[in-house]
Amino acid sequence: MTGPGVLTIILNYKTAEMTLDSVRAALREMAGIAGEIIVVDNDSRDGSFEALTAAVATEGWTGRVRVLAAGHNGGYGAGNNVGIRAGFANGERPDYVYILNSDAFPDPGAIRVLVDYLERHPAVGFAGSYIHGPDGEPHMTAFRFPTLLGELEGATRMGPVSRLLADHVVPLPVPEETRPVDWLAGASVMARRTMLDKIGLFDEQFFLYYEETDLCRRANRAGWPTIYVRESSVTHIGSVSTGAKGWKRVPGYWLDSRLHYFTKNHGPAYAAGATLVSVLGGLLWRGRRFLQGEPNTDPPYLQRDLVTHCLRAPFRRAKPAPRPAQAAIAAPDTP
């Protein structure tokens, strides 16, 4: 096979059978494309690593698919970084890195379309797919960068406020054509390797959520745009590993990631302001909901948890320093 090399990374956490289905779909769509697939088991400890490794042998995927053990569960970004740093088995470096969720399945032509787009547009850093559910329902995966006004709009959820702040609404309507966006959810995103060499990999301080936002923001600041490529289509189930659809309360790692994103990109005062407007907007929404008899769709104690987490942040013990986000893609044996 000739042409640009693609390194596909699929992160597994306790979903071995679904991950294998994702591998099969990716292999089908990588036919004729130079490259490899790396499955990173994110310390599942449920037999996933052994099952995935055995499947590579029994399915005859050796040489095309590798399974790596992350060693510990450092989160979404850290797990993907393990695969990216590993590179190709022969020590060569890929032209593109394709991040595919374990519950995502590329439709016919999906991967080739992303490769061709990046080949035709050398100034683009990220190219991501149109994502839809198994029922064909479009998934909202294109976004603006979060801001104070975006936080206010998202928490308030009132028509007049949303119309006034229309240019700050974080979720974008599902695009009907290929277009630039601020950032994309990471279910199916291809990155230019030379860009990653310059801006770094995922910031491992994020355990889960906001890591794609941060990476796309760093790319944007460095002059590498993110493009939603409508012609690339991927089927996605969603929330299988995280359980987000069944949250009874917002987990601490989401609060940590949110605060880290705002603090890192805008400073602590801005982060505190983002929490303040989100809480105020949430209280306004609760008042309107009460008057109109609408159901509560927020996790319990959301506003309380936002305030408590923000106030406690200066007193929390600093986490161990993550592996530098500036590390470039390395040869397979590089730790």
Each residue's pLDDT tens digit, 242-275: 445 566 789 999 999 999 999 999 999 999 999 9
49, 11 contact by CB (below 8 A): no
> How many angstroms separate the CA atoms of 260 and 100, rounded?
24
Within 10 angstroms of residue 309's Cβ, the number of other Cβ atoms is 18
Mean pLDDT of the chain: 91
Report the percentage of the chain scoring pLDDT > 70: 91
Alpha carbon 38 to chain centroid, angstroms: 17
- Interval 39-57 mean pLDDT: 97
200, 325 contact by CB (below 8 A): yes
Q: Which residue has the higher pLDDT, 203 or 238?
A: 203
Q: What is the DSSP string of 9-58?
A: EEEESS-HHHHHHHHHHHHHHTTTS-EEEEEEE-S--SSHHHHHHHHHHH
Alpha carbon 259 to chain centroid, angstroms: 17
Give pLDDT tens digits for 152-177.
999 999 999 999 999 999 999 999 99
Burial (CB count <10 Å: 0-12, 13-18, 19+), residue 231: middle
Q: Is 313 helix (H, G, I), strand (E, B) or coil?
A: helix
Q: What is the DSSP string of 65-117?
A: EEEEE-SS---HHHHHHHHHHH--TTS---SEEEEEETTEEEPTTHHHHHHHH
Residue 95 token pair: 């032209």
Burial (CB count <10 Å: 0-12, 13-18, 19+), residue 317: exposed
Position 179 pLDDT exceeds 70 = yes
Give pLDDT tens digits for 104-116.
999 999 999 999 9
Lowest mean pLDDT among 2-11, 204-213, 240-249: 240-249
Polymer length of the chain: 335
Its pTM stands at 0.91
What is the pLDDT, as a whole number, of residue 238? 75
CATH superfamily of 6-139+174-243: Spore Coat Polysaccharide Biosynthesis Protein SpsA; Chain A (3.90.550.10)
What is the pLDDT, as a whole number, of residue 289? 82
Confidence category of residue 292, pLDDT binned at 50, 70, 90: confident
Report the percentage of the chain scoring pLDDT > 90: 84
Provide the greatest CA pair distance for the chain.
64
What is the pLDDT, as a whole number, of residue 1? 67
Burial (CB count <10 Å: 0-12, 13-18, 19+), residue 73: middle
> How many angstroms separate the CA atoms of 172 and 131, rounded?
13
What is the pLDDT, as a whole number, of residue 239? 57
Tokens 């990653």 sit at which residue?
196
87, 40 contact by CB (below 8 A): no
